[in-house]
């Protein structure tokens, strides 16, 4: 078990003699035993960061501290880390038992200890039955389990998982996700999982580091990043279906009331009280509302948005409804048993306290 600190970390690759910045000024701290997710789109620098922590990649500048020791110049085997990568490189000629025992053997662990540790881990990951088999005989899900078993058998202080569930399909992925959570509560290693799947990060992590183009966007608990996204990127990345985001302009009604008008349309709605002091007349804003934070109401009052249904989908456990605003669709989700068809008039109400506003230039939350 160990605390992990990342201080002002940079990584610049060189491609065709040109510098390619992959990680820019990353600062993070992971408490002992915490489960952290690195979340972001493909190519944002997640694996690079993980590989620098593991010692498989040199850092360009900055410091990595594990359990109070700067590890920048330590060999991977001396860093007290366990690694499971996306492409589980199991040794084909070796049995599953030997695959898991491999690193222990390399450290000249006594045979009796190896047996005890492999069996313990096998039990934890429900792979006892597979120990005598060869990798080729295993399903993707079983290989994924063995891959993780191999990473944790040495009880690393820091467990690093790079998209460990990426080769699994829907149901299997869900159940391995639950297993990973259980596993973490049992082994208590400080753990980092790299994923591009926001629901995986939300379900597993104590805190999520959201990264875009090598830059940390926000670091917080799943609820913090969901309820108070620091910027428009995080707002659009977290949540499924994604947050509705569009440009509005603040306008003052003849009555003196401040309203937002959706650009390119005549749709207007009240500026929520919480934002009144911040909003300037005639200024544009990026406005965000989650599909689950829009309600269908019966009558029209000044706060509602009266419009027409463009698409209606009944998915069984929930209904999704879309209205068209210029080229964009505004989506909403409801678990109520409603039924509409395209063209029906509908009255919508945004949950005021759930409205997000972002600066149109910086993208930062207002
Ligand atoms: P992620 O894991 O978030 O998908 P990576 O960390 O693998 O992203 O990559 C981050 C950026 O660094 C990408 O632009 C990628 O092309 C670049 N990159 C990664 N590895 C290398 C390498 N060995 N040489 C040059 N560029 C690399
Ligand atoms: Mg990657």
Question: Can you spell out the DSSP letters for 172-217?
Answer: HHHHHHHHHHHHHHHH--EEEEEES-HHHHHHH-SEEEEEETTEEE
Identify the residue whose C-alpha is closest to ligand 1 atom 1.
43
Ligand closest to 56 (CA) is 1
Query: From ligand 1's centre to the CA of 198, what distance in Å?
Result: 20
pLDDT value of position 302:
66
**pLDDT at residue 273 in the model:** 87
Q: Token pair 């006594």 is at which residue?
A: 110
CA of 213 to the centre of ligand 1 (A): 10
**Confidence (pLDDT) at 300:** 65
Which residue owns the Cα nearest ligand 1 atom 8?
Answer: 43
Position 166 scores a pLDDT of: 82
The minimum-distance atom of ligand 1 relative to the CA of 163 is: 2
Which residue, judged by its Cα, is nearest atom 15 of ligand 1?
43
pLDDT by residue for the chain (366 residues), tens only, comes to: 699 999 999 999 999 999 999 999 999 999 999 999 999 999 999 999 999 999 999 999 999 999 999 999 999 989 999 998 877 688 999 999 999 999 888 888 899 999 999 999 998 888 999 999 999 999 888 888 899 899 988 889 999 999 988 877 788 788 888 889 998 998 889 999 999 999 999 999 999 999 999 999 999 999 999 999 999 999 999 999 999 999 999 999 888 888 999 988 888 888 988 888 889 999 999 999 999 999 998 876 766 888 899 999 999 999 999 999 888 899 999 988 899 999 999 999 999 899 999 999 999 999
Rounded Cα distance between 279 and 257, Å, is 12
Spatial contact of 305 and 269, defined as CB atoms under 8 Å apart: yes
For residue 225, the surrounding DSSP H or E stretch is: helix 222-227
Strands 81-84 and 158-162: parallel
> Residue 1: what pLDDT?
63
b/e map 47-65, b = 16+ CB within 10 Å: bbbbbbbbbebebbebebb
How far is Cα 179 from Cα 175, in angstroms, rounded to an integer?
Answer: 6
Q: How many CB atoms lie within 10 A of CB 277?
A: 6
Which residues of the chain are in CATH 3.40.50.300 domains? Answer: 4-237
Task: Quote the pLDDT of residue 224.
Answer: 98
Tell me which of 16, 24, 43, 57 to substitute to probe ligand 1's pocket, judged by most ligand atoms within 8 Å of the beta carbon: 43
> Closest ligand 1 atom to the C-alpha of 194?
2
Q: Ligand 1, closest atom to CA 57?
A: 23
The dihedral through the CA atoms of 133, 135, 137, 138 has a sign that is positive
Domain 4-237 has CATH 3.30.160.20: no
Question: Where in the chain do CATH 2.40.50.140 domains reside?
Answer: 246-358
* pLDDT score at 124: 85
Strands 158-162 and 190-195: parallel
Q: Which residues line ligand 1 (CB under 6 A)?
A: 13, 15, 20, 22, 40, 42-48
Tell me how far the alpha carbon of residue 40 lies from the centroid of ligand 1, in angstroms.
Answer: 13
Give the CATH superfamily of 246-358: Nucleic acid-binding proteins (2.40.50.140)
In ligand 1, which atom is closest to the CA atom of 211? 3
Q: What is the pLDDT of residue 168?
A: 77
Phi, then psi, of 100 in degrees rounded to 5: -75, -35
- Say what the pLDDT of residue 199 is: 94
């Amino acid at each position: 078990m160990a605390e992990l600190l990342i201080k002002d970390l940079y990584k610049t690759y060189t491609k065709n003699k040109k510098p390619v910045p992959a990680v820019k000024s990353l600062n993070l701290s992971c408490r002992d035993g915490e489960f952290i997710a690195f979340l972001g789109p493909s190519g944002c620098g997640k694996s690079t960061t993980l590989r620098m922590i593991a010692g498989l990649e040199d850092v360009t500048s900055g410091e990595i501290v594990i359990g109070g020791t700067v590890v920048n110049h330590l060999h991977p085997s001396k860093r007290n880390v366990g690694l499971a990568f996306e492409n589980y490189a199991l040794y084909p000629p070796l049995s599953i038992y030997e695959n898991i025992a491999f690193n222990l053997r390399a450290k000249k662990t006594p045979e009796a200890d190896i047996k005890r540790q492999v069996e313990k881990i096998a039990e934890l990951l429900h792979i006892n039955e597979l120990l005598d088999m060869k990798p080729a005989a295993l399903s993707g899900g079983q290989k994924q389990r063995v891959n993780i078993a191999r990473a944790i058998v040495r009880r690393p202080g820091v467990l690093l998982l790079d998209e460990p569930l990426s080769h699994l399909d829907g149901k299997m992925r869900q159940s391995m996700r639950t297993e990973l959570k259980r596993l973490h509560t049992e082994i208590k290693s400080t753990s980092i999982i790299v994923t591009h799947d926001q629901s995986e990060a939300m379900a597993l992590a104590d805190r999520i580091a959201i990264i875009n183009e090598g830059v940390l966007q926000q670091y917080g608990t799943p609820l913090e990043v969901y309820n108070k996204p620091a910027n428009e990127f995080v707002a659009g990345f977290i949540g499924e279906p994604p947050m509705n985001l569009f440009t509005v302009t603040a306008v003052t009604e003849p009555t003196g009331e401040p309203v937002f008008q959706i650009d390119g349309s005549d749709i207007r709605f009240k500026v929520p009280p919480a934002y009144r002091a911040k909003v300037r007349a005639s200024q544009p804003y990026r406005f965000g509302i989650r599909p689950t934070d829009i309600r269908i109401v019966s009558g029209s009052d000044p706060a509602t948005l009266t419009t027409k249904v463009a698409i209606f989908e009944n998915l069984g456990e929930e209904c999704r409804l879309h209205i068209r605003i210029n080229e964009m669709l505004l989506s909403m989700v409801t678990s109520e048993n409603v039924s509409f068809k395209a063209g029906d008039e509908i009255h919508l109400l945004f949950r005021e306290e759930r409205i997000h506003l972002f600066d149109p230039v910086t993208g930062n939350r207002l």
